[in-house]
Amino acid sequence: MSTADLAAQEKVFTEVFDMELVETLHLDATQARTVFGIDHETEVDGAEVRVLGTPGVEAGVVLVAFSPASTETVRSWETRVSRDALKVIDFYAPDYEGAIARAKDLGYRVIESEASYELPEGTFREAHLWGPDNVVTAFLGGPADFFADFAQRTDGWVSEVQSISAPLTDAQPAVDFYRDVLGWEVVFEYAIDDPSFAAMVGVEELVLRSRNVGPSTREPYFGLIDYGLTEASEGTLLGRARAPRRGLLGALLVTDEMSSLLKRAGDAAGPPVTLDLLGRNQAVLLGTPHQVPHVVLGSHGN
């Protein structure tokens, strides 16, 4: 995610979501442009990168502060249900009420409308925290035996990142891309038709359907969402998730098979950039059908 204030954004994830600083990196202007696909008409002098991770789990968030900082964000309160950009980072909270109370005690804004809805697996609860740069995170509560098949960390206030939701106009091209290029499949599907969920996201009614695509339920995955709303009521943010715009931009993926991934990606892969991060020395920007940027880290020759 792109931020105007690294310290403030880092504080959210270390205080509320129990992450730790893993690594930092400075990108010069050329690296920043190539890694994040910034056009030459946009001013950028470089970028500071901070990687935060959940202890014991290979999952976390990547914060990037571009210089100069953008005055624009990907999302706003008014575009909270708009399609074609990432929306919410989900965390399982074993003590749901306790985790929310703790966040509020720390001074964070958890919106008043909370959702409680039924799925075949049981009753689930959800609340959203709005943080800096209009980045939204979610606390998820539900049956412990269900989340045992999803969360690797269940002994803290929250788990590692479970999923990132993405409301899309047409999810099928994205499903095909994840399968053909990354080898991912649909690992879980669900539907929600509940007034409390509609109120939480700020609409009168909806019938949400989600296809969750990833390597497995035990690793972070993308929730490709259809809210069941009209295009006019949702609007689209297609192409708006572009650096250096602030907010939840895209995803950082790590692979040990960069060469074969690039062959499968074909023209969707940008030029490789040499940089040292997370034990890898090469980064490539992948274009996606939904125009949500994905940066892949790997190593030369692999």
What is the mean pLDDT of each successive set of 10 residues along the chain, which is 302 residues long? 96 97 96 93 95 94 97 93 94 96 94 86 93 96 94 94 94 95 94 84 80 93 86 81 96 93 93 91 94 92 70
Distance separating alpha carbons of residues 141 and 123, to the nearest angstrom:
8
pLDDT, position 232: 59
pLDDT, position 99: 96
Give buried/exposed letters for 148-158 (b at 16+ CB in 10 A, else e).
Answer: eebbebeebbb
Q: Where are the beta strands (DSSP E) in the chain?
A: 20-28, 46-53, 60-67, 88-92, 109-110, 115-119, 122-130, 136-141, 161-167, 185-192, 208-214, 221-226, 251-254, 273-277, 280-286, 294-298
What DSSP string describes 157-205? Answer: SS-SEEEEEEE-S--HHHHHHIIIII--EEEEEEEE--HHHHHHHT-S-
Q: Which among 52, 31, 136 has a CA at the least distance from the CA of 91?
A: 136
Per the listing, tokens 């892969």 go with 269
pLDDT, position 193: 86
pLDDT, position 231: 63
pLDDT, position 234: 75
